[in-house]
Amino acid sequence: MSETQGKTVEYEKREDGVAVITLNRPKRLNAFNGRMHEELLAALEDAGDDGSVRAVVLAGAGRGFSAGADLSSFTEEVEEDEPDLGRYLRETYSREIVKLVRMEKPVVGALHGPVYGAGFGLALACDVRVAAESAKFSVAFIKIGLMPDAGVSFFLPRVVGLGRAMQMSMTGDPVEAEEAERIGLVSRVVPEEALLDEAISFAARLASLPTKAMGRIKASLYASFESDLETALETEAKGQTFCGYTEDHREGVAAFAEKREPNFTGR
């Protein structure tokens, strides 16, 4: 099936509670066009709303995760000679990044080959990143006279520090997988052929844990970027009140008392 006929985003729900979302324009290195934005946003919305989905894997088909925006498609899809790039971002990547971050479920990025530009932004918005040995990460925007977008300016300095983020953004030089692991950009590097299995296996592990607590973990850690100590402590207190009423908390306490493995259901 050709890319024109098939979906630009594949979406699979597995029995282990993991949903696998795969960017699927391999002939264009999974560069984004308008249709791909629509299909990715729809998949993210469904994964966030579906109670049977307890963890998500975001991957790319073909030779790489994503080369970012498809510039040739972009010029064909917009009507203006000099389009408003900010408006385009608000309608596309910004919505997708917010969906990834606000989703009250863990998201694991399975990254290989080029992870460039806005594709890099999507990868940074994942909660955990697993990379193949082939992965290369580049901010890339400077090469076409633009600044970072798709959340890169928010995530990158928080992940690797201001100095390195500044260097990566100003030069666009790619970072290889081994270096990415060393600087904390990815959690681990695995052989190419093992990437998807490793990412799904880790996501399945997360899916077996208390999903409601996972959502509060994400929310509290992101909120900590913009809060003082007192606010963070209050966020923890409110979150712990919420978690204390969940079925998974009761199951965890019972399993501890009975000296058995807990069976968390995500409720």
Each residue's pLDDT tens digit, 190-236: 999 999 999 999 999 999 999 999 999 999 999 999 899 999 999 99
pTM of the model: 0.91
The reported pLDDT for the residue numbered 79 is: 59
Which of these, 112, 120, 60, lies nearest to 93 by C-alpha position?
120
Q: Residue 22 has what pLDDT?
A: 98
Q: Which residues of the chain have pLDDT under 50?
A: 1-4
Q: What is the pLDDT of residue 83?
A: 74
Whether 103 and 44 have beta carbons less than 8 Å apart is answered as: yes
- Contacts of residue 59, Cβ cutoff 8 Å, sequence gap at least 6: 20, 21, 22, 23, 65, 109, 110, 195, 196, 199
Q: Give the tens place of pLDDT for each residue, 41-69.
A: 999 999 999 999 999 999 999 999 999 98
Residue 116: the pLDDT is 97
Query: What whole-number distance in Å separates Cα of residue 227 and Cα of residue 152?
Result: 20
How far is 207 from 202, CA to CA, in rounded Å?
9
User: For the chain, what are the domain ranges?
Assistant: 9-207, 211-257
For domain 9-207, which architecture applies? Alpha-Beta Complex (3.90)
Domain 211-257 has CATH 1.10.12: yes
The confidence score (pLDDT) of residue 84 equals 86
Helices 93-102, 117-124: inter-axial angle, 10-degree rounding: 20
